[in-house]
Structure 1
Amino acid sequence: MIPAMPAATASRQAPRQASAAALRFGRVAAMGTVAALILIAGVWASWRTAPYVMLTKGRETGTIEVTRCGADTCTGPYTPVSQGSTARERVVIDRTVAVKKGRRYTVVVMPGSDEVVRSGPAGILYSWVPMGGALLLASVVVAGGLRRTRAAWVMAGTGIALLTAAFVTI
């Protein structure tokens, strides 16, 4: 026969359960905040070019033939395609793995500048690459800190799919 638990033992376990719950809440709140900040940073970085590439109605669209490349940027003449767009002798596009001298790319002109960004499916996917990286990084935080492995796998899969699609189209 098991003797009844003394009242003193039961009263000592209540503070332990309360402190464990407080620590659990603190971990979830801290890791949730970190994951949210990572995802917000990914959207923020992607949103620099995404609205121009995705919402092209009323924007200047055309093509650039890359004639010269420097360390960070490439330049070339701009030929307009949309109405109201003007031809330019020299516009600037960021130098990436996908931009090569002598090739022609469809682009959108950033308002109020001579900078252009790629348009079409390649441009859309490339503009969201920072979000793909943020999804991968946040999935580690969600899996380890929040212990939500299914959600982490979904986030990681989405990030990998986005990065792979951008790599394939560019």
Structure 2
Amino acid sequence: MELRAEFTTEPFRGEGEPPEHAVRAREAAAKAGLAVDFGPLGTTAQGDADALVDALPAIARAALDGGATRFTLQLSVGDTTTPPETPPHTLERLIGEVEAQLGTRLVDLDRTGKQQAVRLLEERGAFAMRKAVVTIAAALGVTRFTVYNYLNRDH
């Protein structure tokens, strides 16, 4: 049986390199032989259920040893190799709406404008869509880490 673990580590930090706690958690998942999709504030590890469950304590410990103050975990059971995708036109439509509202393409906004765009997209539910952070980061011309930073500004 396949299992997927999606986890986040906090605190979120400013732009630049991913936090040490996120890097250490990723390394622990990779060392356990799991397939890892790394984001500095959100990481997915998947593989055989027994291997993943056995690796969870080491992943959590690595994050905490790296300075994490919170480790949030979500597990999904079943065939996780081909998760359903959100139709890209839905997210593209939301990005287009925000661009129309702000009067320019997201990539052309200054930092304050990009932060406002992220807030508007969040209000519209864009971040509930699969792969939204990657798509939005590309539209803004920033890293995924920067998008997570913008999301965290108001929380």
Range into which the TM-score falls when normalised by the shorter chain: under 0.3
Is the radius of gyration larger for structure 1 or structure 2? Answer: 1
Q: Structure 1 length normalisation: TM-score?
A: 0.23
By relative contact order (CA 8 Å, sep 6+), the higher-ranking structure is 2
Q: Structure 2 length normalisation: TM-score?
A: 0.25
